[in-house]
Amino acid sequence: MRIVRFASPSGMSFGVLDGDGQVAQIEGHPFGTISFTGQRFAQADVRLLSPILPSKVVCVGKNYADHVKEMNTGDAPERPLLFLKPSTSVIGPGDAIRIPSGSTNVHHEVELAVVIGARGARNLTPEQVPGSVFGYTIGNDVTERDMQKADGQWTRAKGFDSFCPLGPWIETDLRGVGKDPADLEITCTVDGEPRQAGRTSQLLFDVPTLVSYISQVMTLLPGDVVLTGTPAGVGPIRPGQRVECAIEGLGSLTNSVSGADTASTAGSAR
């Protein structure tokens, strides 16, 4: 099932996107039993927003060996390397990634995003993790490299408004469409130029390990998002460019890039 959050003339709602490009509106949030309102919209007549508004986005650094090598910042970590992105960094498909004033070294990072379900996650074993996963979507862990290097810790470099595109939807049953979350192709292009390519089978720490580890540190609430790491090929993006992140079975997430002073308020609903 593909869960979307969308804006229509009647406001913002959650819905289910079917194979015919129709969005069926649901009551309230998508956790638990889904109840339909009876309203349906053509996808072309609504604006898809970020499919979820998490209380926090928990990210994992250096989780692909080839990315560790290209960053030239030491060996792969012995345990998951965690950091946070604020909820205010989240934007949706089609929204603009805004380059901070004076910055010339902002990079894209395509990532598999795990969405936590109604149970939440606290002190889980890896075997218990699937019961707490609501579904999967695509994330882009946008990063200001100069600030990342200068600060030593990554909050400022990763935390700007618009630095966490998510979408276009949450797929709640990848295996049901013949895909295995443990082995999905993951790519990123900029203006059509291939930049990143990898597979989730190359993760140093897989999804059950990551969610279990994080849940020993902090409670993951329903709707929280875990970004699992990025493959090699990260690189700069500039105003006027178009970034497309794609993951097998999850579609593609496309965002324009703008300067800070040219950003519109279109992404304000995230």
Over the stretch 192-210, which tens digit does the pLDDT of each residue have? Answer: 999 999 999 999 999 999 9
Residues 30 and 111 in one domain: no
Per-residue model confidence as pLDDT tens digits over 141-178? 999 999 999 999 999 999 999 999 999 999 999 999 89
Give me the amino acid identity at 213: Y
- Residue 156: domain span: 57-258
pLDDT tens across 59-87, in order? 999 999 898 888 777 788 999 999 999 99
Residue 71: per-residue pLDDT:
79
Q: Is residue 94 part of a domain?
A: yes
Residues 219, 197, single domain; the answer is: yes
| pLDDT higher than 70, residue 182 | yes
The CA distance from 169 to 135, in Å, is 10
At residue 262, φ and ψ (nearest 5 deg) are: -110, 5
In terms of pTM, does the model score above 0.75? yes
Q: With 0-12 CB in 10 A as exposed, 13-18 as middle and 19+ as buried, what is 143?
A: buried
What are 2-53's pLDDT values in tens digits? 999 999 988 999 999 998 899 999 999 999 899 999 999 999 999 999 999 9
Contact 58, 213 (CB under 8 A): no
Among 7, 249, 50, smallest CA distance to 23 is for: 7
Do 35 and 66 lie in one domain? The reply is: no
- What CATH number does residue 87 fall under? 3.90.850.10
Q: How far apart, in whole angstroms, are the C-alpha atoms of residue 171 and residue 115?
A: 10
24 and 111 in a single domain? The answer is no
Residues 32 and 97 in one domain: no
